[in-house]
A and B are shown apart, each in its own frame.
Chain A
């Protein structure tokens, strides 16, 4: 049951003299939501970027499903089962919701040499795209242009595109950012359902939501881990209270 799907060991990322992420180690277990919290500039997004392969680690290693992927480029890690969403909306605004999901799903069925055959006739990516859209609750707006969606729907689509690639590990960068209470509830229900079968790393500012949904919380301060435990223990941790929970807000 405690299958580690993503393992980071001693990950450090320096930008010149600034150490954004400092010797972070963490394990992501299948079936768990693992939240990473910390103030602005604590290195949460940099950590996600290193784990997903968007930027290289200065030192340390990343293991995905048992394979050392430290030197793999982002697309290769993605194809191996690592999905990520972004803090800012990165949906393809001119395309419909259906096409957004289908195109993301196509990453697993690329076959670019089949230039005479229409993309919309690739059955496998249609099926995966539609399944992702409906599990994110977007069945009703499949043929709407993504740019015309509400903010909450765009966030849902962001997750749907991530799911369309059939990942085993999800790295979600502030999926609740800018959402109203109703949209937040819907998204939390969605994340709760995704827990099954996925290992989820959640970076989030909404503390109520984090403490409700997370199975484990890692706290970053100045790029380093000061605590990593179950929510109750993190809440009770003195160091966390002074550094973050009490002090900042």
Chain B
């Protein structure tokens, strides 16, 4: 392992330990906030795979997040809690299926057209949730019962309690991070990197690039689905705004803030962005200005991008 890679691995380990110990010191509010941040970190990782690694700027990532969240709520029976053993895979499969549909068509386009086509597909999903009985309209729907996580009748984690749910989210974040890290150094990941740098050269070497990009798109959608599932279980409520274009924009800003090209950048960006939001929303600090928190966050992001064009983590290749 090279020296920068070792430093990076050390920081990732420090971050993981800090997250594992946080509930011992963080209060109820803190645990809730960091749980949300970890869910968004998974969401940001899903987009980093596409934007940072393959160079596909997807502007419809919210669709996968929202579809998994809605699937979680819709598939939960009214009478008894669902088991996470089938509910999580089902929610992720729903996102993956939509990603397969959306990817198979949008990947044929390039550049700004790709951005617009992915936006259009996610708006389609938004309006299905917004305007049909399937989605329950603008009011959204409540999750009737929190799913259970039990093995052979023994309950592993009580997902309805804040602290166990925190550790479950941390576990999922670590698992997604590790799986993506492995994926990126595999032959598949290296081929994706080659496609990002020069797709034409990859085709000339003998790589059929379309299936590679489509596979990356579906994996990305499924990872966003994991985040959507966690979000629905945590809040117990979904509404169409989860799929709105500004959610896609927010997660894009997270990975740009963190720095494209690295997984830890995406996680860092998600955390930093959420902290910025909390900071500028705080009435204790900003008083009445807290109502205009978008302005504060926006100005800070512009400043960060101007001063740190490679993001908080910088590109590591």
Q: Which residues of chain A come closer than 8 Å to B191, judged between CB atoms?
A: 103, 106, 110, 112
Q: Which residues of chain B come closer than 8 Å to A78, judged between CB atoms?
A: 203-206
One digit per residue, 1 when the CB lies within 8 angstroms of any chain A CB and 0 when it does not, for chain B 186-202 equals 11111101100110111
* A106 lies within 8 A of B187 (CB): yes
* A115 lies within 8 A of B182 (CB): yes
Question: Contacts A75-B203, A90-B201 given: A119-B208 contact, CB under 8 Å?
Answer: no
* A114 lies within 8 A of B197 (CB): no
* A75 lies within 8 A of B208 (CB): yes
* Bound CA span A99–B185, Å: 12
* Bound CA span A111–B190, Å: 12
For residue B209, CB closer than 8 A to chain A, the reply is yes
Q: Which residues of chain A come closer than 8 Å to B200, judged between CB atoms?
A: 54, 90
One digit per residue, 1 when the CB lies within 8 angstroms of any chain B CB and 0 when it does not, for chain A 111-140 equals 111111111101001000000000000000
Q: Which residues of chain A come closer than 8 Å to B190, judged between CB atoms?
A: 99, 103, 106, 119
Q: Which residues of chain A come closer than 8 Å to B209, judged between CB atoms?
A: 75
Q: Apart from A103-B194, A110-B191, what are 15 other A-B pairs with CB-CB below 8 Å?
A: A54-B203, A54-B204, A78-B205, A84-B204, A90-B204, A92-B201, A108-B206, A112-B212, A113-B188, A115-B183, A115-B188, A115-B189, A116-B182, A161-B201, A165-B206
Give residues 51-105 of A contacting B (CB, 8 Å).
Answer: 52, 54, 73-76, 78-79, 83-84, 86, 90-95, 99, 103-104
Q: Which residues of chain A come closer than 8 Å to B186, judged between CB atoms?
A: 112, 114-119
Q: How many residues of A contact B (CB 8 A)?
A: 40
Query: CB-nearest residue of chain B relative to A104?
Result: B205
Q: Is the interface of A mostly helix, strand, loop or mixed?
A: loop
Listed residue (A103, A111, A161) with the most chain B CB atoms within 10 angstroms of its CB? A103
For residue A149, CB closer than 8 A to chain B, the reply is no
Query: CB-nearest residue of chain B relative to A120?
Result: B185
Q: Which residues of chain B come closer than 8 Å to A114, judged between CB atoms?
A: 186-188
The 9 lowest CB-CB distance pairs between A and B, nearest first, are A107-B206, A78-B206, A112-B188, A79-B206, A119-B190, A107-B205, A90-B201, A75-B208, A119-B187
* Bound CA span A118–B194, Å: 15
A-B contact pairs, 29 of them (CB 8 A): A54-B203, A74-B203, A75-B203, A75-B205, A75-B208, A75-B209, A76-B206, A83-B204, A86-B201, A86-B204, A90-B198, A92-B194, A93-B197, A94-B197, A94-B317, A103-B191, A103-B205, A104-B205, A106-B187, A106-B190, A109-B187, A110-B187, A112-B212, A112-B215, A114-B186, A115-B186, A119-B185, A122-B187, A125-B187
Question: Contacts A90-B198, A92-B197, A106-B187 given: A52-B206 contact, CB under 8 Å?
Answer: no
Least CB distance, B186 to chain A, in whole angstroms: 5
Least CB distance, A69 to chain B, in whole angstroms: 13
* Bound CA span A109–B208, Å: 13
Q: Which residues of chain A come closer than 8 Å to B193, judged between CB atoms?
A: 95
* Bound CA span A106–B198, Å: 15
* Bound CA span A140–B194, Å: 23
Q: Which residues of chain A come closer than 8 Å to B245, judged between CB atoms?
A: none
Query: CB-nearest residue of chain A relative to B208?
Result: A75
For residue B207, CB closer than 8 A to chain A, the reply is yes
Q: Which residues of chain A come closer than 8 Å to B207, judged between CB atoms?
A: 75, 107, 110
Q: Which residues of chain A come closer than 8 Å to B187, judged between CB atoms?
A: 106, 109-112, 114, 117, 119, 122, 125
